[in-house]
Amino acid sequence: MKQKALSLLLALAMMLSLAACTQTTPSASPSAPGSPEPSVSQTPSAQPSDEPSEEGAAGTVAFTDSCGRTVELPAQIDRIAPSGPMAQIVLFALCPDKFVGLASEWDPGAEQFIDAKYYNLPALGQLYGSSAGELNLETLAAANPQVIIDIGQPKDSIVEDMDAITEQLGIPAVHIDADTATMGDTYRKLGELLGMEEEAAVIADYCDEIYGETVSLMETIGGGKANILYCLGDQGLNVIAQNSYHAEVIDLMTNNLAVVDAPSSKGTGNEVDMEQLLLWNPDIIIFAPDSYYDQVADDPVWQDLTAIQNGDYYEVPFGPYNWMGFPPSVNRYLGMLWMGALLYPDQIDYDLYTEVARYYDIFYHCDLTQEQFDALTANSIGKLAG
**Local confidence band at 161 (pLDDT 50, 70, 90 cut-offs):** confident
Q: What is the pLDDT of residue 49?
A: 40
| pLDDT for position 386 | 63
> Which tens digits make up the pLDDT trace of 5-23?
444 344 434 433 433 333 3
In a domain, 317, yes or no: yes
Do residues 72 and 59 make contact, with C-beta atoms less than 8 angstroms apart? no
Are residue 380 and residue 244 in the same domain, yes or no?
yes
Provide the pLDDT for residue 136.
78
Please give the residue that has the higher pLDDT: either 133 or 156.
156
Q: What is the CATH number of the domain that holds 228?
A: 3.40.50.1980
242 in any annotated domain? yes
* Residue 320 within a domain: yes
Q: Which pLDDT belongs to residue 153?
A: 87
Residue 12 belongs to what domain range? 2-196
Whether pLDDT at 55 is above 50: no
Verify that 372 and 243 share a domain, yes or no: yes
Contact 58, 76 (CB under 8 A): yes
Mean per-residue pLDDT, 270-279 = 97
Cβ 313 vs Cβ 285: under 8 Å: yes
Does residue 172 contact residue 148 with C-beta atoms inside 8 Å? yes
In this prediction, residue 385 has a pLDDT band, given cuts at 50, 70 and 90, of confident
Q: Which pLDDT value is given to residue 170?
A: 86
Residue 148 and residue 101 in contact, taking contact as beta carbons nearer than 8 Å = no
**What does the angle CA 191 – CA 192 – CA 197 come to, to the nearest 5 degrees?**
45
> Are 45 and 191 part of one and the same domain?
yes
Boundary-marking domain end, from 145, 171, 196: 196
pLDDT beyond 50 at 47: no
Residue 155: what pLDDT? 85
Query: Quick one: pLDDT at residue 57?
Result: 42
Per-chain mean pLDDT for the chain: 86
Same domain for 239 and 344, yes or no, is: yes
In a domain, 205, yes or no: no
For residue 62, the tally of other CB atoms under 10 A from its CB is 8
Q: 162 pLDDT exceeds 70? A: yes
Question: How many domains does the chain divide into?
Answer: 2
Question: Which of 167, 196, 225 finishes a domain?
Answer: 196
Same domain, residue pair 169 and 124: yes
Identify the pLDDT of residue 289. 96
In this structure, are 142 and 253 located in the same domain? no
Q: Please state which of the ranges 78-87, 161-170, 209-218 shows the lowest mean pLDDT.
A: 161-170
272 located within any domain: yes
Task: Tell me the DSSP string of 152-209.
Answer: ESPPTTHHHHHHHHHHHHSS-EEEEE--GGGHHHHHHHHHHHHT-HHHHHHHHHHHHH
- What pLDDT, on a 0 to 100 scale, did the predictor assign at position 384? 80
Question: Quick one: pLDDT at residue 141?
Answer: 80
DSSP characters for 225-276? --EEEEEESTTS-EE--TTSGGGHHHHHHSEE----SS---STT-EE--HHH
Q: Do 93 and 116 share a domain, yes or no?
A: yes
Report CA dihedral (261, 293, 104, 37) to the nearest 10 degrees. Answer: 20
Q: What is the mean pLDDT of residues 27-42?
A: 44
- Do 252 and 149 lie in one domain? The reply is no
Label residue 50 by pLDDT band (50, 70, 90): very low
**245 vs 367: which has the higher pLDDT:** 367
- Whether 238 has a pLDDT exceeding 80, the answer reads yes
User: Is the same domain home to 189 and 302?
Assistant: no
Mean pLDDT of 180-188: 97
Q: What is the pLDDT of residue 250?
A: 97
User: Rounded mean pLDDT of 160-189?
Assistant: 92
Pair 46, 17: CB distance under 8 Å? yes
176 and 56 in a common domain? yes
Task: Answer with the one of 148, 163, 196 that is the final residue of a domain.
Answer: 196
Can you give the pLDDT at residue 38? 54
- Is residue 36 predicted with pLDDT exceeding 90? no
Whether residue 186 sits in one domain with residue 263: no
Over residues 332-376, the pLDDT tens digits come to 999 999 999 999 999 999 999 999 999 999 999 999 999 999 999
Would 203 be classed as within a structural domain?
no
Residue 52's pLDDT is 39
Mean pLDDT of 313-335: 95
Query: What was the pLDDT predicted at 27?
Result: 35
Rounded Cα distance between 158 and 135, Å, is: 17
Q: What is the mean pLDDT of residues 321-330?
A: 92
Residues 128 and 174 in one domain: yes
pLDDT above 90: residue 122: yes
